[in-house]
A and B are shown apart, each in its own frame.
Chain A
Amino acid sequence: MALLKNGYLSQDELQKLPGVPTPERLAKGPVVVIECAQEIPCNPCETACAKGAIHIGENIIELPVLEEEKCSGCALCVAACPGQAIFVVDATYSETEGTVTLPYEYLPLPQKGDLVDGLNRAGEAVCTARVLRVVNPEKYDHTAVITIAVPKALIMEVRSLRRKQSEV
């Protein structure tokens, strides 16, 4: 498993997870992508979702299962996940761009409108991304939830961002 060697999921491993939406659901608009692949004792994602779209059940080590039709893409679960394994993607943002909403705990936070590097799961800069929204209410307890616009083909690749070197 690539996950256990490099520390990140390959696209193959990703597609097998019960928390990852189908291409049909992705095409319909914002939806959650739960990149949680190991049976660890944890369930705050299930508790966080008011729509009941994430199922773990009594035995809290089960993998989170997404009921994709129920998910509105509201991103409430993103900051709740202690593993920072939950993202929301929107393939319908524009003709050419999609969005990725991700958890972020590095200061200083980027600002709306900033151009940043979009990083893939291996930390490689794969595109320039535009910051659309930075949400950081007290309830999220210092995990900011940031939405960026990226080339549409990269919504299942980009999972972090880095402020451009010149700004640092």
Chain B
Amino acid sequence: MRETEFAIVGAGPAGLSAAIEAARAGVQVTLIDENEKPGGQLFKQIHKFFGSKEHYAGVRGIDIGYQLLDEVEKCGAEVMLNSVVWGIFENLDLGIIQNGKRNLHLQPKKVLLATGAVENALAFPGWTLAGVMGAGAIQTLVNVHRVLPGKRILMVGSGNVGLIVSYQLLQAGAEVVALVEAAPRIGGYAVHASKVARRGVPILVSTTVKEALGKETVEQAVLVSLDENWKPIPGSERTLDVDVICLACGLSPLAELAWMAGVDFTYIPQFGGWMPLHNENMETTRSGLYIAGDLAGIEEASTAIEEGRLAGVAAAESLGYLSPAAAEEQKTVIRKRLNQLREGPFGEARKEIKEQLAFGGGKWRY
């Protein structure tokens, strides 16, 4: 069995940042990702990010990815790609399949799960037709592989993902015929909405997709208006010619490994549903097992980076590479930046819940 001090599952912004912090402190780090390239969601994010200078504001996600990769290379962490972690066992040992064939058994002292999220689907008649796709899949096709999935798109969901992917589809030359939102108001940042509105994309709130029509692929979408109780209004149906229906209906923490590890979970709708409980060091109810990023509640790459750093520093401390005082100093700075990102009407609820999770002791337990 191979050994390492700190194994990190998932090389998205959370995993990369944790690797950097821990390796810098002197920890032997093994960073594992199932993909050919590290970076997680970051390399699909070709738009400029929010935040302040310390949060890489104004830098495109893809370039933040390159910066993090560069730092990982310099800090000496081992990066294991094309490697799926399929199990976590009694002593936090990991089962890994490399390149689809070789099985590797890795025994770390500490583990960070930074596996990210999975997209929520939306079921309606016709939703299995080719052309009904998740926003993440479309972003990968368009921004990574440079393939347009269709010409006339219906976007479902007005969160930041729906708004940003609409903008990127416009940039790629597609027409976004409409963006529908079941709620009576736009969910994501207004500045993102304004970007697509000024290109003529109609944003229709209190509206959803009732049905997709077509023989083998999507040819039309039937829209329907919703009343205050989210009930379809009879007679409000109308049909649009579209060849793609893009679903941007939220994300849920990708938690299988955490379930397998037997940690305590809690259900928090604002964070995307079931997520592992964790303390202010990002440690779960199982000692030595940490989580960060979207697995610790759906947020953003900027928060994932900070949570990853926090976990990296905490792991380095518990392995004896940082004195409690030195670790506390770093953690205080990171927590301050995290709190900044969770200020304001969009973040407040998340901030409060995270505080209660971390310090309130059990209130969110099920």
Contact = CB atoms under 8 A, between A and B. Distances in A.
Interface of A: 1, 3-9, 35-44, 47-48, 59-61, 80-85, 105-107, 119-124, 141-143, 159-160, 162
A83 B189 contact: yes
Contacts of B55: 41
Nearest to B342: A41
Given A119-B199, A119-B200, A3 B190 contact: yes
Interface string B200-221: 1101010000000000000000
12 contacts: A5-B205, A7-B186, A8-B197, A40-B50, A41-B343, A82-B47, A83-B191, A85-B194, A121-B198, A122-B198, A123-B200, A124-B200
Interface stretch (B7-15, B96-104, B326-334, B344-352): B344-352
Contacts of B185: 1, 4-5
Contacts of B63: 141
A7 B341 contact: no
Nearest to A120: B198
Given A41-B343, A82-B58, A6 B190 contact: no
B340 A60 contact: yes
B171 interface: yes
A40 B185 CA distance: 17
Interface of B: 47-53, 55, 57-60, 63, 170-171, 184-186, 189-201, 203, 205, 340-347
Given A36-B191, A41-B347, A123 B201 contact: yes
B51 A9 contact: no
Nearest to A85: B191
Given A82-B48, A143-B48, 8 more contacts: A4-B205, A5-B186, A6-B197, A35-B191, A41-B341, A82-B57, A84-B191, A123-B198
A122 B191 CA distance: 13
A121 B205 contact: no
B185 to A, nearest CB: 4
Nearest to A56: B52
Nearest to B343: A61
Contacts of B201: 7, 123
Contact of B197 (A37, A44, A61, A121): A121
Contacts of A120: 198
A41 B203 contact: no
B203 A6 contact: yes
A141 to B, nearest CB: 7
B347 to A, nearest CB: 7
A98 B49 CA distance: 31
